[in-house]
Structure 1
């Protein structure tokens, strides 16, 4: 039996290539490399991992170890300074105007919105802050004694991992997959769009576009 809580509509928005014309995991390494923080081979490794992501064959543990090396021994406050600089210098100008307009309209209408991304929560925080999302689900970082260890924590927020984390969100805030909307762009999003009640393929990658055409999902193009 469905309850009012399970019927609550939640609007989940993916971040990279859905809200912004950017891959933040790659641009973050570029940003750190330019500041002399990341290693000299960081860009080649970042590109390799990005291609694995596009091909939906990313080794999540290996990637997170690479992605979080600069976090080791730092506090949230220290890394947030860099996150906000990265957003201001790189990300802000790459927000799709149509996406921002739609998100702000949904907020004005009082809808429950959640930013959800495989990008770690520190890098994603600045976009969440700028657009005013009340909620965010992202890949989390391990913290011991208020400092990052350079390791990931919990479920990696990609594919089936996103579905699991969305269900955790529903347990706290209400809603269900059947009552929710999801906006996403990648091959890894197919498994999510297959389960939500209101799927939206945004600037879809080839595999997602094929699934959208097969399932008659709405396709949105932001430019």
Structure 2
């Protein structure tokens, strides 16, 4: 079996899922209108390489602390339906080719799990490696606190989180990524260079300037038209 990993924002989808989620909640009166500008400020920090992901996560998740998880799940389903028309057919076809080949596929994203999972369903991806939201009682369905549970799935931690996930998928196997003859990771961002460098087939998708330069120098494939 081979392995195919996919970043989410600006890779499988040509926009930021966190911003889309923020706009979705603002549209329902759950968040104030200024929440969009607050989130945009974090996006600017991300581009500048100065993002504190814990602060971004808290700003996005803490306002939902009092929302019952059943309601949050309902919103996630509505969010999925709202995003369906915005999914590029070319990227859906790319994922389907990997799935049809029998490869183990996963969405690997810094996005919070309850935002990432509806997006993964749009592509038929069963596995999600994402930033986990901490809960007050430690139970997955408990009240959200705004903190991150464990390591964020971000930058160099993406490699660690993927290795942890693979250890769960292959009990007794200690090789992780090295166990696969062929492995792919698709990403748009230089922040993902640690994981891109850990797979056998890194692919840059509409890459930012730094990743494009690195991909050209390393001879990695570049997808610009998805």
Normalising by structure 1, we get a TM-score of 0.89
Pairing of 1:142-161 with structure 2 (within 5 A): 142-145=134-137, 146-161=142-157
* Structure 1 residue aligned with 2:163: 167
Distance in 2 of aligned mates of 1:212 and 1:19: 18
* Structure 2 residue aligned with 1:69: 62
For the aligned residue pairs, the C-alpha RMSD in angstroms reads 1.7
Aligned length: 215
Distance in 2 of aligned mates of 1:70 and 1:186: 28
**Deviation (angstroms), 1:208:** 0.7
Distance in 2 of aligned mates of 1:9 and 1:213: 25
Residue of 168, 186, 190 corresponding to 2:189: 186
Residue of 123, 127, 131 corresponding to 2:123: 131
Any idea what SS the aligned residue of 2:132 has? strand
* Structure 2 residue aligned with 1:48: 41
Normalising by structure 2, we get a TM-score of 0.88
Distance in 2 of aligned mates of 1:142 and 1:43: 23
Unaligned runs of 5+ in 1: 1-7
Residue of 78, 86, 101 corresponding to 1:109: 101
Q: RCO greater where, 1 or 2, for CA within 8 Å and sep 6 or more?
A: 1
Any idea what SS the aligned residue of 2:5 has? strand
